[in-house]
Amino acid sequence: MEVIIIGGGLAGLVSSLELARVGHTVTVVERKTYPFHKVCGEYVSNEVRPYLESLGLELHALGATHIDRFQFTSPSGRSLETGLDMGGFGLSRYTLDHALFQLGQAAGVRFLLGKQVDSVTFQADGFSVELADGQRLTARMVLGAYGKRSRIDKQLERPFMQKPSPYVGVKYHIRTDAPVDTVALHNFKDGYCGLSSIEDGKYCLCYLTTRDNLRPFGNIAAMEQAVLCQNPHLKRIYETAEFLYEKPGVINEFSFSPKKAVEQHILMIGDSAGLITPLCGNGMALAIRSGKLASELSTRFLTNQLSRTELENRYQAEWSRQFAGRLRVGRTVQRLFGNPWLSEAAVTVFGGFKPLLRRVIRQTHGAVLAVN
């Protein structure tokens, strides 16, 4: 086979679909079975909307909401709002990923679902991929699209794996009376919580905090009442919203540290190559863009227009050109949030000069992705 893609999130699905449609044999190995929920903010920048629609996604029919406003609140409840120059849409990963999966099936992508990759080895200008059930696959190329952290990262001895990560991400789907056209970012001590509309009248509530914030309270629910609800906007949501699932989705041990886009000849895409801080609300768009980039360069390699060395050098260079600056801005801006004093100061500064806030937002977004 020509290409194995490890992970069936947005980056893996986009790249598999693009590669299959130009005639390559592609296998996606995904440890879950579609459709499934993922811990994710579920707001998507309009920079990728025309491209997604060109792939055959009918976003309006899927229930995507229109979002063109941004609200920011400090832990004390002070608030500011502004328009989003580009705007975006809200759609759950449960719905979006499943729709892309169905397009991939129709294009001839082979999916191995409910399977875990144990190891990847490069030798003799090809790859050997061993699954946890003992199955072994071979391919000319491997794309790493497995997300924020994996046993493969440990096998590859990626440097960020040596540094413990303090972060915990928590996600709910709820029903509430918040504005449909607004993505909100509510700050609390040592964390921030995003709220945005998705399909079927639902909202995604997703927040980032630290284990140190959770530890004194013993469980998530107690921490939410003691810490998040100090922000009156979050307190109102927790007191009045309908929470649609018994338990939230939870992830931890993910890193915002810089990563290489190529590791031992594997092209890393999506969060595997670099994770933008959630406050930027743009991780889904970056994953989609990186999947498209990897598929285009991979096709040139598979059709002998690029050597492997040329492929890897061009992918790393282009990935850095498109995404490194945006991730760097995200890491810098994140320092303003979750800190009560800095969050209050940000409301004052940005509230008095909203063009500055919109400029910061633009720096975490890219131009509209070209449609082939």
Q: Is 80 among the domain residues?
A: no
Residue found by looking up tokens 């759609």 in the block: 91
CATH label of the domain that carries residue 302: 3.50.50.60
Q: Is 215 among the domain residues?
A: no
Prediction pTM value: 0.90
pLDDT digits (tens, 9 = 90+) for 118-127: 999 998 889 9
Q: Is 369 among the domain residues?
A: no
Task: Map residue 359 onto helix, strand or coil.
Answer: helix
Q: Is 184 among the domain residues?
A: no
Provide the number of structural domains found in the chain.
1
Q: How far apart are CA 236 and CA 227, in angstroms?
A: 13
Q: Is 86 among the domain residues?
A: no
Q: How far apart are CA 269 and CA 48, in angstroms?
A: 16
- What integer pLDDT is reported at residue 74 of this predicted model? 86
Q: How far apart are CA 71 and CA 304, in angstroms?
A: 49
Q: Is 281 among the domain residues?
A: yes
Q: Is 273 among the domain residues?
A: yes
Please, what is the angle between helix 10-21 and helix 93-107, to 10°? 20
- What integer pLDDT is reported at residue 156 of this predicted model? 76
* C-beta separation of 90 from 198 below 8 A: yes
Full domain range(s) for residue 135: 3-42+92-163+257-336
Q: Is 320 among the domain residues?
A: yes
- Which two three-digit tokens encode residue 109? 């992508």
Residue 321 has what DSSP assignment?
I
Weakly modelled stretches of the chain, pLDDT under 50 = none
